[in-house]
Chain A
Amino acid sequence: MGKAMTDHHVILRIVAKVLIPFIALYGFYVQFHGEYSPGGGFQAGVILAVTLILYSLIFGIAPTMRAVTPVFARGVAAFGFLLYAAVGIAALIGGGNFLDYDALVDEPEGGHLGQHLGIIVIEIGVLMAVAGSMTAIFYAFAGRVSEIRDEDW
């Protein structure tokens, strides 16, 4: 596969290059505006993963895997999950029930800093977990090498 063969994809490549940063930006918008409008970590995570999937559809799976390695994707997913659970444990240590955001910060009665902080960290955890696992699942499908050897055909 030479470069000449992919030349007729020039429009796709240019458009994708322009679009991908905006898609990523929109992902972060959905993440951080999720407090006031529909959205949040789950949707944002999928949108972020979509940027990688689009990139690999246009430029191939190998360069994508070099940029974001499968191990890294899995690591992000695991870390996001851990972050979520860690907030719950931090609340336990703070003297509340599991995931009780109010126990995260020591504040006077009626303060909501703990709730703000808790949900933001949780949503970042969700973002990482979803984006990481979506990418890992895509890699698992797209990067699958045939298990049937040539001589078995």
Chain B
Amino acid sequence: MIDALLAMVPAVLVAHAPALLVVAPMLLAPIVAMLPNGRVAWWLTMLATGFSLLMALVLLAQVRSVEGGAILSYAMGGWAPPAGIEFRIDSLNSMVLLLVTGMGFLASVFGWTSIRAEITSAKTSMFFSAYLVCFTGLCGVAATGDAFNLFVFLEISSIATYVLVALGAGRDRRALPAASNYLLMGTIGASFFVVGVGFLYAATGTLNMAELSVRLDAVRDNKAVLAGYAFIFVGLGLKAAMFPLHQWLPNAYAYSPSFVTMFLAATATKVAIYALIRFLFTVFGLEFAFEGSSLIWILMPMGIAAMIACSFQAVFQTDIRRMLAYSSVAQVGYILLGVSLGTAAGVSAGLLHLVNHGVIKGALFMAVAGVVLVYQGTSLNDFRGLGRSAPWTMTAFGISALSLIGVPLTAGFQSKFALVTALLEQGWWWAAAAVVFSSVLAVVYMGRILEAVFFQAPINPNKRQKEAPLTILVPLWVLVAISLWIGLGGSFVIGLADGAAASLFGGGT
């Protein structure tokens, strides 16, 4: 089905897809910034992200055209790697690119009504421009095969993100301290990362990730390499909101504009986790990352701690968006727990959960954005009785909530089941028990919302029957449909995750 795409798209686009995917939003960002009209800016944003999505599909088709996953290498400026900067697309990042561009496209479709309500019209064009820059950065991180280039793209996306979060100040002034916290933490994370890359460069003399992994073999015991490893791990961990380093996340998600929360929750931490996986498995290699430095005993306890502690924190929140934000940190815990296994099954489960959680959280925050738009409130009380006032929006919310908990026939069940299976294979029954316990906590905190939504009477009985507008409902139900499709089998996405994990472990599918 996806292979037919290659025949339809012009050959030039197919050949340059890795670059064009990142260049299209980058090119349109300055144009959008200068537009006086926010509506035109919105159209161009949809055009750019839609084009990137098309390119991501083309890349995926190209990667899958070869048994076991092809590796596409695109030399920037015609300078051959490892000297030049290389965009390197394989099974792993073609999947991440599809997630980022897909969520980016759906976010920009739904964005207009929500942004118009929350951002002053004078800033709308600049807002879309910042969003495109953020999107460019995230795509760049996922596409590049150069360690320093990755840092640059990470900073491009992060700086745009700080701006986007701060723009929530129009609705809630607490967005400003949240953005400034995020800026401080994010900058520390980025500095750690770039220091680590510097150490690796000093030890090996190259920045190309594929070349790094080859040259690192000779200098395994070098102190600079070990220090660089630690710096990179902490730096990317901060960006990915790994458990004790997640303090910036709840406020940033709770106070930024609804649109930004939805996009960030679905993509930003996911891309950072991708970068972490890329460094752990491709650059440092399984043996170094896991056995040499017993990473397993850092990653696994932190994953479990995130699952338990942050789920508990989520239970006690009264603001829906904070609750979902804490739940996001907990979900990062699941992903890292899967990765910490260091087996193909574990990584595959982690990656599947990465995609699933992106889709699920995207849908949840999109539904919340619809509620914010129509009913102006994000506290648990504001959600009372909405099941009757806005059945379509809230049914989508309910299905996504069930999926987050991991009820059978939903996407969340597939990935949690895969995770538990992988854990039991290794004999980690206590970790599997932790997953189940954390899911029970998810039942509690999502249950509180669902109970308020579907079983309580509205505080204001005259609350009018009003749905979110169609531009929100359509992308929302697209996400719900994707999540149900994954849940009902969805061998396509599971196959992607398996292929990505297999490519990390050096074998074919």
Please, what's the 1-or-0 string for B12-33, where 1 marks a CB less than 8 Å from any CB in chain A?
Answer: 1000100110010011011101
B34 engages A97 (CB within 8 Å):
no
A78 to chain B, nearest CB (A): 4
B interface secondary structure, majority: helix
Q: Which residues of B contact A97 (CB under 8 A)?
A: 16, 19, 74-78
B77 engages A101 (CB within 8 Å):
yes
- The reply to whether the CB of A61 lies closer than 8 angstroms to some CB of chain B is no
- Given the known interface contacts A89-B23, A97-B16, the answer about A82 and B31 at a Cβ–Cβ threshold of 8 Å is yes
B87, closest chain A residue (CB): A98
> Interface residues of A toward B: which range?
20 to 34
Please, what's the 1-or-0 string for A82-101, where 1 marks a CB less than 8 Å from any CB in chain B?
Answer: 10011011011000111111
Q: Which residues of A contact B20 (CB under 8 A)?
A: 92, 98
Q: State A99–B76 Cα separation when bound (angstroms).
A: 6
A98 engages B34 (CB within 8 Å):
no
- The reply to whether the CB of A50 lies closer than 8 angstroms to some CB of chain B is no
- Out of B16, B23, B31, B75, which one reaches A78, CB within 8 Å? B31
A85 engages B23 (CB within 8 Å):
yes
**Size of B's binding interface in residues, CB under 8 A:** 17
- Out of A78, A86, A98, A100, which one reaches B33, CB within 8 Å? A78
Chain B, range 216-234, C-beta contacts under 8 Å to A: none
Q: Which residues of B contact A102 (CB under 8 A)?
A: 78
- The reply to whether the CB of A59 lies closer than 8 angstroms to some CB of chain B is no
Q: Which residues of B contact A82 (CB under 8 A)?
A: 27, 30-31
A92 engages B16 (CB within 8 Å):
yes
Q: Which residues of A contact B27 (CB under 8 A)?
A: 82, 85-86, 89
Q: State A105–B380 Cα separation when bound (angstroms).
A: 63
Q: Which residues of A contact B78 (CB under 8 A)?
A: 96-97, 99-100, 102-103
Q: State A96–B79 Cα separation when bound (angstroms).
A: 11
A75 engages B16 (CB within 8 Å):
no
Chain A, range 53-89, C-beta contacts under 8 Å to B: 74-75, 77-79, 81-82, 85-86, 88-89
- Out of A78, A89, A100, which one reaches B77, CB within 8 Å? A100
Q: Which residues of A contact B74 (CB under 8 A)?
A: 97-98
- Given the known interface contacts A85-B23, A85-B26, the answer about A99 and B16 at a Cβ–Cβ threshold of 8 Å is no
Q: State A92–B74 Cα separation when bound (angstroms).
A: 13
From A77, A85, A89, name the one whose CB has the most chain B CB atoms within 10 angstroms.
A85
Q: Which residues of A contact B34 (CB under 8 A)?
A: 74-75, 78
A107 to chain B, nearest CB (A): 14
Please, what's the 1-or-0 string for B69-96, where 1 marks a CB less than 8 Å from any CB in chain A?
Answer: 0000011111000000000000000000
A139 to chain B, nearest CB (A): 14
A98 engages B30 (CB within 8 Å):
no
B350 to chain A, nearest CB (A): 32
B153 to chain A, nearest CB (A): 15
A71 to chain B, nearest CB (A): 9
Q: State A98–B33 Cα separation when bound (angstroms).
A: 23
Q: Which residues of A contact B75 (CB under 8 A)?
A: 97
B30 engages A81 (CB within 8 Å):
yes
Q: Which residues of A contact B76 (CB under 8 A)?
A: 97-99
Q: State A98–B85 Cα separation when bound (angstroms).
A: 11
B124 to chain A, nearest CB (A): 15
Q: State A91–B31 Cα separation when bound (angstroms).
A: 20
Q: Which residues of B contact A99 (CB under 8 A)?
A: 76-78
A98 engages B19 (CB within 8 Å):
yes
A2 to chain B, nearest CB (A): 35
Q: State A89–B29 Cα separation when bound (angstroms).
A: 15
Q: Which residues of B contact A101 (CB under 8 A)?
A: 77
List residues of chain A with CB under 8 Å of any chain B CB.
Answer: 74-75, 77-79, 81-82, 85-86, 88-89, 91-92, 96-103
A-B contact pairs, 20 of them (CB 8 A): A74-B33, A74-B34, A77-B30, A78-B33, A78-B34, A85-B27, A88-B19, A89-B27, A92-B16, A96-B78, A97-B19, A97-B75, A97-B78, A98-B16, A98-B19, A98-B74, A98-B76, A99-B76, A100-B77, A100-B78
List residues of chain B with CB under 8 Å of any chain A CB.
Answer: 12, 16, 19-20, 23, 26-27, 29-31, 33-34, 74-78
New A-B contacts (16) at CB < 8 Å, excluding given A92-B16, A97-B16: A75-B34, A77-B30, A78-B30, A78-B33, A78-B34, A81-B29, A85-B27, A85-B30, A91-B77, A92-B12, A92-B20, A96-B78, A97-B19, A97-B74, A97-B75, A97-B78
In the complex, the 6 A-B pairs of residues with the closest C-beta atoms, listed nearest first:
A100-B78, A78-B30, A98-B19, A99-B77, A81-B30, A85-B27
